[in-house]
Amino acid sequence: MLLEGKVAIITGSGRGVGKAMAELFVKEGAKVVINDVDGDVAEETAEAIKAAGGEAVPSVTTVDTMEGGEAVAKAAMDAFGKIDCLVNNAGILRDKSFPKMTEDEWDSVMNVHAKGHFCCSKAVIQPMRDAGGGSIINVTSTTGLAGRFGQVNYAAGKAAILGFTRCLAIEMAKYNIRVNVVAPSALTRMTESIPGADLSTMPGPGMNAALFTWLASDATKDLTGQIFHSGGEEVSLWSHPERIVVCYNSGGWTTDDLINKFQPRLAGKDSRGYPQGI
């Protein structure tokens, strides 16, 4: 019972990856808040968990407002009296090539992903501090890590979550609150809508649940600020951005110096067309 006695909030957990997480969390001993904007699926998932002998309550609210984040936290505190873990899993897609993308398609995706992480995390920090610590698990995407055609808004939101995770991990360390981020790959209603996606290679939602459960547990109490990917048979740890080509020029740089001294150091490109350096 890896999560025995713990209380977890999982946003966007009425279906898909979030639901699979909730089911495994409960099997490992946790009590869970099932958050979703669709009240029917939130209620259905919570009732199914209770019917199987677990403890769960639904929370029907969006996550992209402070009121929404506070409502999710309140559901946990009212039902179970504490919060040990938050998984910021809620997400949406509004895919469109950039020239055709509307302001609303940009704003809605950025709000749910970037602002949603802010609102929900802000709401759980004090309860976690009161409890002596906790785990926040953010959710990014390989689109945020490496890019993908037609998902500029989604990539921007998911990349923002990487910076959010790094900074929050630094700030929360003194409170024993660890903050990590996962990029899951799974076949869900969201991924089925991605134009040109190879759905045949995508694993089921349940294939990601173990990694999230591990990160929610005390087994990872000293692990923070890290980027993970999971999907199918693969689990990986990703590197943080680092300088790959560094040059110094006495007295500073001119454009001629950049062309003659720096540019030659960029010879060679990797599989994505980025400079390999030397």
Question: Hunting for tokens 């040109």 — which residue is that?
Answer: 196
User: pLDDT value at position 270?
Assistant: 67
| pLDDT tens-digit map of 123-162 | 999 999 999 999 999 999 989 998 889 999 999 999 999 9
Is residue 1 assigned to a domain? no
Q: How far is residue 223's CA from residue 135's CA, in Å, rounded to a whole number? A: 10
Percent of the chain beyond pLDDT 70?
Answer: 88
Question: Do residue 95 and residue 228 come from a single domain?
Answer: yes
| pLDDT tens-digit map of 188-241 | 555 545 555 555 666 566 689 999 999 999 999 999 999 999 988 889 999 999
Evaluate if residue 58 carries a pLDDT over 80: yes
Averaged pLDDT, 29-47 = 97
Question: Do residue 225 and residue 253 come from a single domain?
Answer: no
Residue 278: pLDDT band with limits 50, 70, 90: very low
Question: Do residue 217 and residue 278 come from a single domain?
Answer: no
* Residues involved in catalysis: 154
Question: Do residue 218 and residue 83 come from a single domain?
Answer: yes
Question: Do residue 100 and residue 122 come from a single domain?
Answer: yes
Q: What total number of domains does the chain contain?
A: 2
Q: Which two tokens stand for residue 169?
A: 């991990």
Is residue 276 assigned to a domain? yes
Question: Do residue 234 and residue 247 come from a single domain?
Answer: no
Averaged pLDDT, 94-98 = 94
Is residue 163 assigned to a domain? yes
Q: How far is residue 120's CA from residue 109's CA, in Å, rounded to a whole number? A: 16
Name the DSSP class of 204: P
Given its phi and psi angles, is residue 235 left (phi above 0), alpha (psi -120 to 50 degrees) or beta? beta
Q: What integer best gives the mean pLDDT of the chain?
A: 91
| pLDDT tens-digit map of 152-182 | 999 999 999 999 999 999 999 999 999 999 9
Is residue 117 assigned to a domain? yes
Question: Do residue 13 and residue 54 come from a single domain?
Answer: yes
Question: Do residue 200 and residue 273 come from a single domain?
Answer: no
Q: How far is residue 131's CA from residue 65's CA, in Å, rounded to a whole number? A: 25
pLDDT greater at residue 275 or residue 250: 250
Q: Which two tokens stand for residue 157?
A: 């939101």
Question: Do residue 82 and residue 154 come from a single domain?
Answer: yes
The domain of 174 spans: 7-238
CATH code: domain of residue 196: 3.40.50.720
pLDDT greater at residue 265 or residue 151: 151
- Main-chain phi, psi angles of 236, to 5 degrees: -140, 155
Question: Do residue 211 and residue 185 come from a single domain?
Answer: yes
